């Protein structure tokens, strides 16, 4: 079955992702905002053309399947607001180097943030907030040129942080670099601090 886009988002589908993915050739999979549960199946990356995978706001769980290693052409990976746990795997930076947006917000990831994410040279959006991560951001995050350049237009909106054709000025926050009166409430040392036209974003 050849599909350009499989969009079943914002429904009330439940159960697991036991779809015969190996029988499909699809570029976009959007199953967000449902009640899907279980783990990500090994076959979801069967399509060599897959470049957008959006599974946010479901009840998916478990450690990130190593099968996602085979999604080597992904541009957008949005797994926000599920119950994935464990460390953020190093292979994301090594195997999915084409990523432009990575959303892992609102899960149960723990441990340090791997420096392998710094290999994502095309990355424009990184959202790791509301997890159980510890330690400091890797210093190499300050070298991610994509976070410093104008956001490009994504044909598939990334939720909750989507590309707004806005020029963000991003930098690593270090102690005493920002005057106290300029420091947004709750800003953490060694987070990524972005400002554009008075709007402040912080990526933890």
**Along the chain (204 residues), what's the average pLDDT of each consecutive run of 10 residues?**
87 91 91 95 89 96 87 94 94 93 93 93 89 87 72 38 36 38 39 45 49
Residue in the block written with tokens 């992702």: 17
Q: What is the CA radius of gyration of the chain?
A: 17
> Quick one: pLDDT at residue 51?
93
Please state the pTM of the whole predicted model: 0.75
* d(C-alpha 127, C-alpha 141), whole Å: 13
Cβ atoms of residues 50 and 73 within 8 Å: yes
> Quick one: pLDDT at residue 149?
57
Residue in the block written with tokens 């190499």: 140
> Quick one: pLDDT at residue 101?
92
Where do the structural domains in the chain lie, given as residue ranges?
5-203
> Quick one: pLDDT at residue 137?
81
DSSP-based helix, strand, coil % in the chain, nearest 5: 15, 25, 55
Which fold is adopted by the domain 5-203? Answer: 3.80.10
């Amino acid at each position: 079955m050849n599909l350009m886009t499989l969009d079943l988002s914002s429904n009330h589908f439940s159960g697991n992702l036991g779809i015969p993915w190996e029988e499909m050739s699809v570029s976009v999979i959007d199953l967000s905002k449902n009640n899907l549960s279980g783990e990500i199946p090994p076959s979801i990356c069967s399509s060599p053309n897959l470049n957008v995978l959006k599974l946010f706001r479901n009840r998916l769980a478990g450690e990130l399947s190593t099968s996602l290693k085979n999604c080597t052409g992904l541009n957008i990976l949005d797994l926000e607001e599920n119950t994935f746990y464990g460390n953020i795997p190093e292979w994301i930076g090594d195997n999915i180097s084409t990523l432009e947006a990575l959303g892992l917000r609102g899960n149960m990831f723990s441990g340090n943030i791997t420096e392998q994410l710094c290999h994502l040279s095309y990355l424009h959006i990184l959202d790791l907030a509301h997890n159980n991560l510890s330690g400091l951001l890797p210093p190499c995050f300050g070298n991610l040129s994509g976070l410093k350049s104008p956001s490009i237009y994504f044909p598939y909106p990334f939720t909750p942080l989507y590309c707004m054709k806005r020029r963000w000025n991003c930098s690593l926050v270090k102690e005493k670099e920002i005057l106290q009166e300029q420091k947004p409430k709750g800003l953490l040392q060694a987070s990524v601090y972005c400002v554009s036209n008075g709007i402040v974003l912080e990526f933890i």
